[in-house]
A and B are shown apart, each in its own frame.
Chain A
Amino acid sequence: MIEASGLTKRYGHNLAVDGLSFQVRPGRVTGFLGPNGAGKSTTMRLILGLDAPTGGGVTVNGRSYRELPAPLWEVGALLDARAVHGGRTAHDHLLWLARSNRIPHRRVGEVLELVGLAQAAARRIRGFSLGMAQRLGIAAALLGDPGVLIFDEPVNGLDTEGIRWIRELMRRLAAEGRTVLVSSHLMSEMELTADQLLVIGQGRLLADTAMQDLIERNSQAATLVRSPQGERLRELLEGQGARLQPDRQGRWRVLGPDAAAIGELAAEHGIALAELTPRRSSLEEVYVQMTDTRVEYRAQRPTPDRPLATTSKLGG
């Protein structure tokens, strides 16, 4: 359990975290979302006692991090997979961490096995790919078998198989009753992994809600329709006040009447339908809507003449 109340961090004139209050509960994966510079990493550093808050506070298992008697037994964190000394072997990196909290030596081998790095144990970290470094970082987080896990952008630099592995690991850790807080800029990833969402923008909390609620409450229902008599259908639907937009596959995206109403209308007028698909906004669309007014770096927003190359990467 992680609890923040009025958590505030100011760096000079920049208010990085502004009065955040939230709870991260055990037994589920809590996703931490926000545009670039929203304060996600700062919040994590405050939770872990690396930076001191300017105001408010945050506790882990009821205590501030700096008061935990053996922190690695309670909290495991991966902030930056590259924050390791390249000259050490994977085994030695985990060994000094184990020593620091009186964690049995055998755990080193166990977590290396768990993340699939057993073969690379004696290799220097310098030669690791980013994916291997991420796995090592996760091994370090799991070393003390902690009940609280914090991951900052854990799927960064991983291939598809690695991403699936992390996703399953997160879900398994949460299912074991642990508290899992994970930030990611990959919306689609959050949608698949997280049960609960914390959305922040410019250091403020925008939403603290169950994933499904968030999408349902914020999404615009639309229906994708394809018909050999598309133009006729469009006239009829527009006659009933629906709004239609063509999509690239030659379908209409219909806003207003739901799928049942469209189907009835088509049947009434003897129009054949080739496709009728109810569609909810993805988390990505909801998120863009929500943070639209909060995005600090407006230059990153897509414009008609300069579309954003990959709209799923809004930065972290």
Chain B
Amino acid sequence: MPGTIEQGRAGFAEALAAEWTKLRTVRSAVWTLAAIAAFVVGTAVFVGATRSLQPDDTILGGSLTGASVGLLVGASFGVLVISRDYAAGTIGATLMACPRRGVVLAAKATVTAAVMFAVALAACFLAYRVGTVMLPDDYAQGTPMPALLGVAACFSVTGVLGLAAGTVLRHPAGAITTMVAVLLLPSLIGPLLGGWERWVAGASPVAALQKLAQSSDAAPDTVGSLGAWPSLWLVCGYALAALAGAGLLFGRRDA
């Protein structure tokens, strides 16, 4: 018998539940998250064992050495949240289930940001604990709170940027390449831009992360002179703008 539509709903909460279910039922997504955690913690163990950090580094910064590379994996995670749908063809089923595309993209962004935040926070906290135990006391400790929350937020932002890139480009390879460029280029070309440097070099989530981690890598001449938290707010702003732009395109384009 034809169903009674009163019971059904396909709003934000349902889209969120669907996207979460999609994510946890695909092994590659789970493995990507495990890879981020393993790399961040593994690097902390390596740094702790070899004491391979600058004399002016903090224990927090040294422990989070792997986080910058972890961000690259986080970006791929965000890209795959949507390009997996394009590659498999499930974008059709996704939009048939919820034809309001802004809602779909918002749900994907929320799931991406939340998952990135939770995994990164756990991994970075563990890495910091490892560093604290393994590294000698002659390094400055660094201030873990609220810096670790900011570092985890950098992963969320990066994931959302990846989602925006994946939405615009659809194919994973192109979107991931773009994200690598977005993450690495600002600190390379920033110093060439004079007064604009703080807005460009600071625009990279990697820069924001290094500043938050109080790493010796966070020198103003490479990552811009904008402060740690302002850098985070700046990349948040950029990421939301990118997501909004991707949303406009997503809403107008044929699936």
Show the binding face of A for B, using Cβ within 8 Å: 45, 48-52, 65-66, 68-75, 77, 79-80, 82-89, 92-93, 95-97, 99-103, 140, 144-147, 176-178
Q: Is the CB of B255 within 8 A of A102?
A: no
Q: Is the CB of A72 within 8 A of B96?
A: yes
Q: Is the CB of B18 within 8 A of A100?
A: yes
Q: Is the CB of A99 within 8 A of B88?
A: no
B255 to chain A: closest residue by CB: A50
Q: Is B50 an interface residue (CB 8 A)?
A: no
Q: Is the CB of B8 within 8 A of A92?
A: no
A49 to B84, CA, bound (A): 21
A95 to chain B: closest residue by CB: B21
Show the binding face of B for A, using Cβ within 8 Å: 1-5, 7-10, 14-15, 17-19, 21-22, 25-28, 84, 88-90, 92-100, 252, 254-255
| B18 proximity list for chain A (CB < 8 A) | 96-97, 99-100
Q: List 8 A-B contacts (CB under 8 A).
A: A68-B10, A80-B89, A92-B21, A100-B18, A101-B14, A144-B3, A176-B1, A177-B2
CB distance from A91 to the nearest CB of B (A): 9
A77 to chain B: closest residue by CB: B96
A88 to B85, CA, bound (A): 12
B87 to chain A: closest residue by CB: A85
| A103 proximity list for chain B (CB < 8 A) | 8
Q: Is the CB of A96 within 8 A of B22?
A: yes
| B19 proximity list for chain A (CB < 8 A) | 96
Number of cross-chain contacts by CB at 8 Å: 125
Q: Is the CB of B84 within 8 A of A85?
A: yes
Given contacts A48-B96, A71-B97, A99-B18, contact A84 B5 (CB under 8 A): no
Q: Is the CB of A144 within 8 A of B95?
A: no
A188 to B134, CA, bound (A): 75
B18 to chain A: closest residue by CB: A100
13 additional contacts, CB 8 Å, given A50-B92, A82-B89, A178-B2? Answer: A48-B96, A49-B99, A50-B96, A68-B99, A70-B7, A71-B98, A73-B7, A74-B5, A83-B89, A83-B90, A84-B88, A85-B22, A99-B14
| A97 proximity list for chain B (CB < 8 A) | 18, 93, 97
CB distance from B13 to the nearest CB of A (A): 9
Q: Is the CB of A102 within 8 A of B22?
A: no
Shortest 3 CB-CB contacts between residues of A and residues of B: A83-B89, A70-B8, A147-B2
Q: Is the CB of B5 within 8 A of A73?
A: yes
A139 to B118, CA, bound (A): 35
| B25 proximity list for chain A (CB < 8 A) | 88-89, 92-93, 95-96
| A85 proximity list for chain B (CB < 8 A) | 22, 26, 84, 88, 90
A100 CB contact (under 8 Å) in B1, B27, B98, B254: B98
| A140 proximity list for chain B (CB < 8 A) | 93
A68 to B25, CA, bound (A): 27
CB distance from A232 to the nearest CB of B (A): 62
A87 CB contact (under 8 Å) in B2, B4, B27: B27
B26 to chain A: closest residue by CB: A87
A72 CB contact (under 8 Å) in B2, B8, B17: B8
A51 to chain B: closest residue by CB: B254
Q: Is the CB of B255 within 8 A of A51?
A: yes
A234 to B45, CA, bound (A): 97
A83 to chain B: closest residue by CB: B89
Given contacts A146-B2, A176-B1, A178-B2, contact A71 B7 (CB under 8 A): no
B24 to chain A: closest residue by CB: A92
A82 to B252, CA, bound (A): 25
CB distance from A57 to the nearest CB of B (A): 14
| A146 proximity list for chain B (CB < 8 A) | 2-3
Q: Is the CB of A101 within 8 A of B97?
A: yes
| A93 proximity list for chain B (CB < 8 A) | 25
Given contacts A88-B26, A99-B17, A99-B21, contact A72 B10 (CB under 8 A): yes
A74 to B99, CA, bound (A): 13
| B89 proximity list for chain A (CB < 8 A) | 80, 82-84
